[in-house]
Amino acid sequence: MTSPGKAVSESQVIMPQRMLPQDANPAGNVHGGVILKMIDTAGSIVAMRHCRTSVVTASIDRMDFIKPAFIGEVIIIKASVNYAGRTSMEVGVRVEAEDLITGEIRHTGSCYLTYVALDKNRQPIQVPPLLLETEDDCRRNREAKARRESRLAEKHRERASQNETRAC
């Protein structure tokens, strides 16, 4: 049985973490892989809060690293459900870096992840509908629907290309 729906605000996450020397890449900035792990952790928490079941990461779309983050700063991951389909959800993530000395907060990256809800047998299960509360929720939902259509079209093109019998 499907629930009547869940509001975006019921599953949102704001996850801060101070970056330490072990989080550095060879250039001395926060390693992109460290940020990606934090993004997936926050995203999965949001998805599980929305559906109250296990989830699996199905895809990560367009991770844009806009500005570097530095050791000693606090990385703030903000995540929320943008779209809920039948068994999957798109979670939008914004990454910010805060300089604790100056108080400056910079937008350092953004991405979108798709999670699939799983039942106890690790099979896809229906997720609750998404209840949109604000104009921002509605905008993010519209944009997520457009991204979903683009992802599906791209998958279709890739499968068609793989099925072509002509050689390169």
Confidence of residue 167 (pLDDT cuts 50, 70, 90): low
- Which of 36, 88, 42 has the alpha carbon at shortest distance from 60? 36
Confidence of residue 1 (pLDDT cuts 50, 70, 90): very low
Alpha-carbon span 9 to 35, nearest angstrom: 23
Q: Give the tens place of pLDDT for each residue, 37-64.
A: 999 999 999 999 999 999 999 999 889 8
CA angle centred on 33, ends 16 and 146, rounded to 5°: 80
CA atoms within 13 A on the CB side of 13: 25
Q: Give the tens place of pLDDT for each residue, 92-127.
A: 999 999 999 999 999 999 999 999 999 999 999 999
For the chain, where are the alpha helices, taking DSSP H only?
Answer: 32-51, 135-163
Domains within the chain, CATH numbers bracketed? 6-163 (3.10.129.10)
